[in-house]
Amino acid sequence: MEDQVTTMSRLDAEKGIELLKEMTPEQQVSILLKAQSFQTLLMQYRCAIREIQTKLNVLNDEFSLRHERNPFESIKSRVKEPTSIIEKMHRRGYELSVENIEDKLNDVAGIRVICSFVEDIYYLASMLSAQDDLTVLQVKDYIKNPKENGYRSLHLIIQTPIFLSDQKKNMRVEVQFRTIAMDFWASVDHKLKYKKNVKNPEMIVGELRKCADIISSVDQRMQEIRTMIEEGEIDD
């Protein structure tokens, strides 16, 4: 009897996947939002974000007390919109299911930490990575190795446990670290990418890359000035 039930459940699931494939993205979003398992997954991602944010705020408070300044300016967080989740699953060729969303995507839950100085980025990333209940699954350092278009940021995929009423579950969160200047460039670049009928797009890309290099130089110089102040080489 159990084997029959298992077989029927599997067949129902396969039938459901086939039906999803025939739907428009809007219909798929509507179906997903009605699924209890999908809503549960989104809730779990929100919990994971709170776990990481709490750890970052604790580090911020401690650093502020010891050094009389904050290592970051602000934290932004989000859970990816269902439409974006579906588009990414399709783009990567994955079958749309709650299990695949959790298994295949690393950035459904995202946190962006905005720092004043590059040095603070690496300090915070190091302190967060050292916590024994977290596991760093992936590091992409676009500060030391910028993307071709000039994009700079430090990305960590972190696995954190969340504690539910009946279980402990590990969830993945993408944490991005940027300076204020890097975040400004990325925000403007993102907006300009969606402009239509742009003349000389290659020239625009080149100009944006030049701006990214200038911003990087400013970040470096601001870091040097702060170091000089802390070492007492500049009088008030």
Q: Catalogue the active-site residues.
A: 174
Neighbour count for residue 83 (Cβ, 10 Å):
13
Please give the structure tokens belonging to residue 41.
């997954």
| Residue 87 identity (one-letter amino acid) | E
Q: Are 174 and 109 in contact (CB under 8 A)?
A: yes
Q: Are 154 and 176 in contact (CB under 8 A)?
A: yes
Within 8 A by CB and 6+ apart from 210, the residues are: 150
Cβ-count burial of 187 within 10 angstroms (0-12 exposed, 13-18 middle, 19+ buried)? exposed
- Spatial separation of the C-alpha atoms in residues 114 and 221, rounded to whole Å: 18
